[in-house]
Amino acid sequence: MVLAITGASGAAYAVRLLRGLLGAGRHVHLAISPLGRRLLSDELDIREVNAGSLVGGATDRLFLYDFEDVGSRLASGTFLTDGMVVCPCSSNTLGAIAAGIADNCITRAAAVHLKERRRLILVHREMPVSRIDLENMLRVDAAGGIICPAAPGFYGRPTSIDDLVDFVAGKVLDPLGVEHELLRRWQPIDNDRGQ
C-alpha cells in the first residue's frame, strides 16, 4: 500500500491510517511532501520521520521514499500495489493529480495508480472548497480515483478527538478492503422497542 502525506491539516488522520495499515499486516510505502513533514512537526511534534516516531517502534513493513525521487519504484507501473492513499491531501496536490502533473514522488505515484487502474484515494482536508477544487475532484473521480473528504461522522457518538480520527481512518480503510475496528457501524434505532 502506498501512503502519501501532504500539507493540509490532518496529521493525526495520516498517522492513524498508517498504524491501521501496519496493524492489518500491510506493507506501507510512505512518501511525505516537505509541507507534510512540516505538518507532522507542527501538529504532532514529529520532527524526525522514522518508524519510531510514526508508529512507536521499528517495523520491517514500512518503507520511506524521497519526495523528489520520481525514479523510485513508486513511479513505475511494474511495482504492484494494492492501492494508494494521499492523506491528508492538500488542494495543491489534488490539482496536480487532476492535471496529470507528475513532478514528484507523490504525484507520479498517483498518476501510475490512475493509469494502471489501481485504487487511488484522496483524503482532501481543506475547507471550504473552491469551484477549482470541486472541478479537480470531478476530474480525479472521472479518472477512477476516490475522493474521501476528512469528514468525521457523529452517529457513533464520539467522546474524544481520537474517536473522530478513528472514524475518518476507518472510512478510508473500508474502500481499500482493509479490515479494522476503528469505527462503529451504523445501526438504526429500533423505534418499536423505544430505543
How much is the pLDDT for 77?
93
Which run of H or of E encompasses 2?
strand 2-5
Q: Does residue 108 fall inside a structural domain?
A: yes
Which run of H or of E encompasses 64?
strand 62-65
Task: Provide the CATH number for the domain around residue 71.
Answer: 3.40.50.1950
Q: Give residue-wise pLDDT tens across range 2-34.
A: 999 999 999 999 999 999 999 999 999 999 999
The pair phi, psi for residue 56, each rounded to 5°, is: 85, 10
- Number of structural domains (the chain) is 1
d(CA 85, CA 121): 5
Q: Does residue 195 fall inside a structural domain?
A: no
How much is the pLDDT for 192?
52
Q: Does residue 189 fall inside a structural domain?
A: no
Q: Does residue 188 fall inside a structural domain?
A: no
Any idea which residue has 469528514 for its cell?
Answer: 151
Partners of residue 124 on adjacent β-strands: 89
Q: Does residue 56 fall inside a structural domain?
A: yes
d(CA 51, CA 60): 9
How much is the pLDDT for 181?
79
Domain that holds residue 80: 2-183
pTM to 2 decimals? 0.91
Partners of residue 32 on adjacent β-strands: 5
* C-alpha cell at position 167: 472514524
Whether 98 contacts 139, CB under 8 Å = yes
Which of residues 188 and 105 earns the better pLDDT score? 105
pLDDT at 67 over 60: yes
Mapped onto helix, strand or coil, the DSSP state of residue 167 is helix
- Sheet containing 62-65, strands listed edge to edge, beginning at the edge strand earlier in sequence: 62-65, 28-32, 2-5, 84-89, 120-124, 146-147
Mapped onto helix, strand or coil, the DSSP state of residue 114 is helix
How much is the pLDDT for 129?
93
Q: Give residue-wise pLDDT tens across range 106-126.
A: 999 999 999 999 999 999 999
* C-alpha cell at position 47: 520532527
CA atoms lying within 13 Å on the CB side of residue 113: 29
* C-alpha cell at position 158: 464520539
Q: Give residue-wise pLDDT tens across range 149-182.
A: 999 988 888 999 999 999 999 999 989 888 887 8
Mention every residue, 6+ apart, whose C-beta is less than 8 A from residue 45: none
pLDDT at 193 over 60: no
Whether 26 contacts 179, CB under 8 Å = no
Mapped onto helix, strand or coil, the DSSP state of residue 87 is strand
Q: Does residue 165 fall inside a structural domain?
A: yes
Q: Does residue 73 fall inside a structural domain?
A: yes
